[in-house]
Structure 1
Amino acid sequence: MTSNYIGQPVSRVDGRAKVTGQAKYAAEFNVVNGIVYGFVVSSPIAKGKITVVNTRQALAQKGVLQVFTHENVSGLAWFDRSYKDQDSPSDGSPFRAFQSPEIQFSQQPIALVVAETFELARYAAGLIHFEYEVDEKLVAGLEENLDKARKPKTYKVPMAKPRGKAEDAYEQSAVKHHGDYYHGSEHHNPMEMHATTVIYGEDDKLIIYDKTQGVQNSQKYVKNVFGLSTEEARVISPFVGGAFGSGLRPQYQLYMAVLAALELKRSIKVVLTRQQMFSFGHRPATLQKIVMGASEDGKLQSIMNHAYTETSQFEEYTENIVNWSGYLYQCDNVKFDHQIVPQDVYTPLDMRAPGGVTGVYAMEVAVDELAYKAGKDPLDFRILNYAEKDQNDDLPFSSKELRQCYLQGAERFGWSKRNAEPRSMREGHSLIGWGVATGAWEAQQMPVRARALFSIDGKLVVSSATADFGTGTYTSMTQIAADTLGLNIEDVLFKLGDSSMPMSPLSGGSWTASSVGSAVYSVCENVKKKLFSLARKVENSPFANSDTEDVVFDGGRISLKSNPQVYLTMTEVMQKSGTNVIDEDTISLPNMLKQKFYSRYTHSAVFVEVKVDEDLGTIQVSRVVSAVAAGRIINPKTARSQVLGGVVWGIGQALEEDSVLDNRFARFMNHNLAEYHVVVNADVKDIDVIFVEEHDDVVNPLGVKGLGEIGIVGVAAAISNAVYHATGKRVRDLPIHLDKVM
């Protein structure tokens, strides 16, 4: 009998609900009769002013209840902190729908039509007549507007301090390199589109089903905007069909659905179209100018990185982009700069590994180029410049098994068989290329509360208001709870996604397993202590003279370590002590006294093989090995899925995803899945994931690091480096289309 579930490849506990359709998403809650539907109208212009709104024809349609525009919406409790308290990544004044006739970006929502059916709402939307005063002085395109670049007022993550004398060291370097590295905007396209269903109840109390990565985040936003109490706005989100950062900030359909429900005193559903998924944020286009120097034997002497990123005209969005250049390798002379270029687009938004996937891409391609110039194997060059400490913060690592990632990944991939000469490896009409890159991401922990209810029937229910958007949180938290209390996993239920549950921050940044997991572990330890205290007090208890270290909790039993045949079942303890339920609530906090002395990161090494058709220039990623050091792995099955998903998206970033901005109209023209290309099954071949053993007793009590981001970091760079090895052409801007290698 064993209840050791941590580290086991347990299948998803929510899997059956998902594949049988029992799992309900935000747009699928039809729990009341008479629900109405909202359809959003988007602006066709990017900058200007609405001068005429005529809704008469739309309102004349039988079954159309209302059309909300800036002309009939006022008096809300809008103020900047409505967004500022919601982990907003930006400095400035957030966009407010229906509060002004001003148009600030293309596809801006300018009306909401509410009708008795979705089809009617959509039809009536086309009957509204708008006239505009168009401002032709548009600012669009990052590279075309570098003359408008400026420092932001604040950085989301402060730039690391420069060290040494980077310019002088560069001039004295025997091997020099400089290059410009660019990637365009990318848009979130999770399977589930953003949606909100609001159930209107008595006394204006609302139950809000929202697509979000933080139910309490959405709740706080709604409370601030509409002046509601916690009891008047309950937000529920048990299942999320992918988010990747798009659910961090409350999106405008949430505001519109609540607005309409309160005004009409009706339950309502508002679902964005796939085209409208391109209207509320994106990974920002980024240009990085990297200058590097090395000694004759390949030791890094100087690194300089000047980054330019886009933002909106009404907010300043920044990411942690340049710091990676001073973190990844040992170098005593480093200098950074990061400027923003305001444009007439919506504010960018966090997207999987924000800043990291961007900054590491440029740095890792530049490192590859410098390695070639120094006459070094790209992997040997990285190991030669291995950083034993975090020079940005001048701290030792809490753990770092990156060297093993390099070695184990190279062994699995067969790197030693690589011919270093570009265009030297072939297979029929295909040029074969092998590339490598380093990945890194912060290992963070946030304050989280969790509640545990252990009942007399031996069942445990643990809850926290976190989210699971495909990451496996339901499963991993169930495993931690079962393992900690020594229960069979079938006797444990983990609940999430309800604002009435114990406090949890947004689920993002790869901190959920670390943060929520620590809270689940802590609250289950409290239940264990309470159970043992009861067990010692029951009549004729075999544990009367025992301490907690003398017993084992396993398989629903409490038994002596010295004699496993001496035991009490947990249900016996509850029954004999006359206890129906043990109810524990706790908060888990980062151990700042311990953590402040260490730098905490997850690391990876990504090895890629590409096949490039010599005649057509088509590129296929035929093989990937991703070796990851992420502390203790709770569930290798769901963990592998996280890394697989990251690698797949990295393939998309490198070869396919490209939001095409027409600078004349400041409009993303390919705002649909027919023309915005994402990776499909045919694009994905062999992906091998290695989890390198790593022990870390600093990051949190479980020794767990996050996996959501690390899977994508470094992938695009490794592909780019492999394309160079295959073709001899160095491509420094993403995505790499066939015309760039022909």
Structure 2
Amino acid sequence: MTQIGKAISRLEGWQKVTGSAKYAGDYNVPDLLYGYVVNSTITKGHIISIDTSDALALPGVIKVFTHQNRPGLAWFDIMYTDMDAPPGTVFKPLHDNEIKYNGQPVALIVAERFEIAREASALIKIKYEEMHFETRLDRNIEKGRNAKKGLATALKPPPPKPKGDFSLAYDESPFKVATEYRHSTEHHNPMELFATTTVYEGDGKLTIYDKTQGTINSQIYVANIFGLHFKDVRVLAPFVGGGFGSGLRPQYQLFFSVMAALELKRNVRVTLDRKQMYSFGHRPQVIQKLRFAAETNGKLTALSHLALSETSQFEDYAELVAEWSHKLYPANNTLFSYKLVPLDLYTPIDMRAPGGSTALHAIECTMDELAYQLKMDPLELRLKNYAEIDPSTDKPFTSKALKDCYLKAAEKFGWNERNPEPGSMTHGNKLIGYGMATGIWDAYQFPARVEIGVNAEGKLLVNNATTDIGTGTLTVMTQIAADQFGLSLDEVTFGYGDSKKPFSMFQGGSAMTASTGSAIVIAANVLKKKLLDKAKEITNSPLKDAELKDVMFTHGRMYLKNQVEVYVMLTDIVQANKGKTIKTTNLGAPHMFDLRKYSKMTHSAAFVEVEIDKDLKTITVTRAVTAVAAGKIINPKTATSQITGSMVWGISKALYEETILDENLGKYMNMNLGEYHIPVHADIKQLEVIFVEEKDELINELGVKGVGEIGLVAIPAAIANAIFHATGKRINNLPIHFDELL
């Protein structure tokens, strides 16, 4: 009975489509108060006065919290309040009268009904003293500096040191490209609004339903800030309506909900509306300057990638941007740099494929431009510079099937039918363009603890604090656990989304299947040994002399490999244990020592076709093929869904998605789903996903790599390259607007 590899629908799907799944703002809590946040209307300065009298006079308003009357907080004068905090000083809502960015929360109104709290927000009168601010990256380039080092440096190290003599090699190379790319700000827009429902249990104990990608991360945040014991703070998030990185760090509705609940000793829910979801983290503005050079045969000789990105005035948020080119392509002469520019905006935050989707667009478009200069097929150029080992570290990969991705995706797409001359392919009144690009992403794995046990009914119980943000985590973990004991899915219960369960990092970085899944395998192996030891204690046990290597599990039995008729039922083993569940809790962690000599990467190749109206220049992505090498695929259905969703986001990033910043006001102007453009169903045509076979016996116990982000990183570049092929016009700023082709 094998579950791994089956295309199984998500186990919680029926709850979601019937509406029975409860999200953070859905729980029916008695005696509930509602909070509404008031946000600043200036970008930088100070609050001179806040008049809350009219708001407090409104019937149903319980209290208005401002910096003048907020309760005392622990805050712990430490740099980090949560597991994802970048170096610097964490933003503290209502800390003082200083305004650091437009939309900063400046007050919380708590009322008996949400509508009352929202109405009262319009009655608060605030006088500000405004100061000069800077929110434009391109006007503050001279302020660029190295990112501060902190806890996040291990996952986001600075670019590698220069190698060889880049300037000399670049100058002497017969073919070279120097170009610049600019990326606009993007904001997360998950379907579920950010909400927190805090249940005051008395004696400082709290049960919190939070919109988060990490229950333990929110628990750490609350305990640190409010000076509570961790065991007194329980955070639950069994259902999350999309995260994409926005829920990695606790957002300010959590702070306000907990603060009000502790102060009023009441249950309090705080929900941010869609506009307020633009008042915290985002994908940052980035300027990239690339210079690539090659010999006549296409071999790269020199790579330079300089990136300049925004951060806030109080934290140093960094991404991996400049180093990706050298992880893909070898060159003897390199020069990489990554600088941060502090601006009067909130700290950026990870957004699906952070850094990678930004960098790969610039890298793969530069490679495409170089290919045209060389009069070489863009696919041939990449194969010419194919790296069998990681060029940036000279380490072998645990596995790499990128070449298969190129070849299989190209065949499926029909790349050989491409006429290489720009503007040469047409269909009626449409210009047709073909483009391709490479994708790469880290194969992350985080530590995770898993509790696993067999109960009196012979059912398998598995527990871990991870969340499921819509990726299929519940289903995949159930499949992994079921396979360890040869059980059906309905014989396994996977408990998750609860900070009281064993440790899990937040769900991000395409790491959860590798992290929690590997921990399940490790814990299952320990449990098998315990079950065998217990089975041997049974009177006249047929397995009395068996070793662990001699037994297997299926259909609720432990049996001898070579004598299937010799077995003990799991229920009999538990019964011999006085009916008590036999369980174990164990830690799974990356094999740091064993893997230190290897590079761990996921790869992809994307091929895209665009149609461009000859007169109107409107752009349509008519079809796209993505081939992915990500080790073993646990569930092809959920994995395909992940890649398909990433491809849609890649289309969005290339053609639609940007937050418009008014430089005179220092605020975002399109803070709604009507004006923040994302693709709709009519914009998405034919998308196809291919998983190439990639066996990785080194990476972890399951041989798996994450698929959450790898499907996104190559698509924007492939689209931009296809647009050039269709029109002969190369546009280096994202998103690409059709008017730029007129």
With the length of structure 1 as denominator, give the TM-score of the two structures.
Answer: 0.98
Matched with 1:38 is 35
> 1:505 and 1:45 mapped to 2: Cα distance?
36
> Identical aligned pairs, as a percentage?
51
- Report how far residue 385 of structure 1 moved: 0.4
User: Do the aligned residues in 2 keep the contact of 1:82 with 1:224 (CA within 8 Å)?
Assistant: no
Deviations 1:207-249 (A, max 9, x none): 0111111111111111111101123211111110001111111
User: Is residue 21 from structure 1 mapped to residue 26 from structure 2 by the alignment?
Assistant: no
> CA separation in 1, counterparts of 2:232 and 2:547?
47
Equivalent-residue separation in structure 2 for 1:350 and 1:580 (angstroms):
44
1:122-147 CA-partner distances (Å, limit 9, x unpaired): 00010000011111x22121112212
Q: Which amino acid aligns with 2:68?
A: E
Conservation of the 8 A alpha-carbon contact between 1:161 and 1:392 = no
C-alpha distance in structure 2 between counterparts of 1:526 and 1:430, whole Å = 62
Aligned to 2:311: 311
Distance 2:367 2:304 in 1: 12
- For the 8 Å contact 2:328–2:391, the answer to whether it is kept is no
- Measured in 2, the distance between the counterparts of 1:79 and 1:276 equals 27
Q: How does 1:118-137 map to 2 (within 5 A)?
A: 118-135=114-131, 137=132
What pairs with 1:47-446 in structure 2 (closer than 5 Å)?
A: 47-81=44-78, 83-88=80-85, 90-135=86-131, 137-154=132-149, 156-446=156-446
Q: SS at the partner of 2:80?
A: helix
Q: Is the 8 A contact 1:138 1:664 kept in 2?
A: no
Residues 179 and 80 from structure 1, CA distance in 2 versus in 1: closer, same or farther, beyond 3 angstroms? farther
1:500 paired residue number: 500
Question: Residue 649 of structure 2 aligns with which residue?
Answer: 649
Give the structure 2 partner of residue 451 of structure 1.
451
Count of residue pairs brought into register by the alignment: 737
Code of the aligned partner of 1:26: A
Q: 1:84 to 1:388 in 2, by over 3 A?
A: farther
Cα distance, 1:682 vs structure 2: 1.0
Between the aligned partners of 2:384 and 2:81, the Cα distance in structure 1 is 44
Structure 1 residue 80, shift from structure 2 partner: 4.7
Aligned to 2:620: 620
- CA distance, structure 1, for counterparts of residue 562 and residue 462 of structure 2: 31
CA contact (8 A) 1:436 1:605 kept: yes
CA distance in 1, matches of 2:596, 2:650: 32
Which deviates further from its counterpart, 535-544 or 654-663?
Answer: 535-544
Instruction: Give the partner amino acid of 2:20.
Output: Q
For residues 80 and 392 of structure 1, the distance between their equivalents in structure 2, rounded to whole angstroms, comes to 38
Contact 1:5–1:482 (CA under 8 A) maintained in structure 2: yes
Q: How far does residue 267 in structure 1 lie from its aligned partner after superposition? A: 0.3
The TM-score, its normalising length taken from structure 2, stands at 0.98
SS in 2 for 1:564: strand
Whether the 8 Å CA contact 1:389–1:396 is kept in 2: the answer is yes
1:522 deviates by 1.3
Q: In structure 1, the residue corresponding to 2:7 is in which secondary structure?
A: coil
**SS of residue paired to 2:87:** strand
Offset, 1:719 = 0.6
Letter in 2 for 1:22: S
Aligned-partner Cα distance in 2 for 1:84–1:187? 23
The 2-side partners of 1:98 and 1:397 are apart by: 48
Per-residue deviation at 1:94?
1.7
Shift of 1:315: 1.6
User: What letter is aligned with 2:393?
Assistant: D
Local SS of the residue matching 2:497? coil
- Provide the rounded CA distance (Å) in 2 between the counterparts of 1:77 and 1:546: 57
474-483 or 202-211: bigger deviation: 202-211
Residues in 1 aligned to 2:292 and 2:554: alpha-carbon distance in whole angstroms: 56
The 2-side partners of 1:431 and 1:563 are apart by 67
Taking the TM superposition and a 5 Å limit, the aligned residue runs for 1:589-738 are 589-738=589-738
Amino acid at match of 1:68: F
**Which one-letter code corresponds to 1:48 in the other structure?**
G
Distance in 2, Cα, partners of 1:157 & 1:87: 15
Q: What one-letter code is carried by the residue in structure 1 that aligns with 2:99?
A: I
Task: Give, in angstroms, the shift of residue 579 of structure 1.
Answer: 4.2
How far 1:391 sits from its partner (Å)? 1.9
Matched with 1:530 is: 530
Per the TM alignment, residue 578 of structure 1 is displaced from its structure 2 partner at its CA by: 4.0
Q: 1:585 aligned to 2:621?
A: no
Q: CA deviation at 1:577?
A: 5.5
Q: Secondary structure at the match of 2:203?
A: helix
Between stretches 412-421 and 147-156, larger displacement belongs to: 147-156
**Local SS of the residue matching 1:114:** strand
Separation in 2, partners of 1:518, 1:643: 22
| Alpha-carbon distance in structure 2 between the residues aligned to 1:543 and 1:597 | 41
Partner-residue secondary structure (3-state), 1:97 = coil
Q: Secondary structure at the match of 2:641?
A: helix
Contact 1:330 1:388 in 2 (8 A): no
2:145/2:341 contact within 8 Å kept: yes
Aligned-residue Cα RMSD (Å) equals 1.3
Q: Which amino acid aligns with 1:305?
A: H
Matching residue of 2:4 = 6
Which range is displaced more, 263-272 or 331-340? 331-340
Contact 1:445 1:699 in 2 (8 A): no
CA distance in 2, matches of 1:218, 1:28: 19
2:158–2:338 CA contact under 8 A, matched in 1:
no
Deviation at 1:576, TM superposition (A): 4.8
Which amino acid letter does the alignment assign opposite residue 589 of structure 1? A
Per-residue CA deviations over 1:129-171 (Å, capped at 9, x if unaligned) read 0011111x22121112212222233364221122111111101
Equivalent residue runs for 1:457-606 within 5 Å: 457-576=457-576, 578-606=578-606
SS where residue 14 of structure 2 aligns?
helix
- Is there any run of 5+ residues in structure 1 with no aligned partner, and where? none
The alpha carbon displacement at 1:564 in A equals 2.4
CA distance in 2, matches of 1:678, 1:427: 27
- Cα deviation digits, residues 444-467 of structure 1 (max 9, x gap): 211110101210101111011111
Q: What's the offset of the Cα at 1:693?
A: 0.7
SS at match of 1:575: helix
CA contact (8 A) 2:81 2:220 kept: no
**d(CA) in 1 for partners of 2:397 and 2:106?**
50
| Deviation sequence 1:253-277 (CA, Å, 0-9, x none) | 0000000001111101000010011
SS state at 2:490 partner: helix
CA distance in 2, matches of 1:75, 1:179: 52
2:256 is paired with a residue of what secondary structure? helix
CA contact (8 A) 1:485 1:525 kept: no
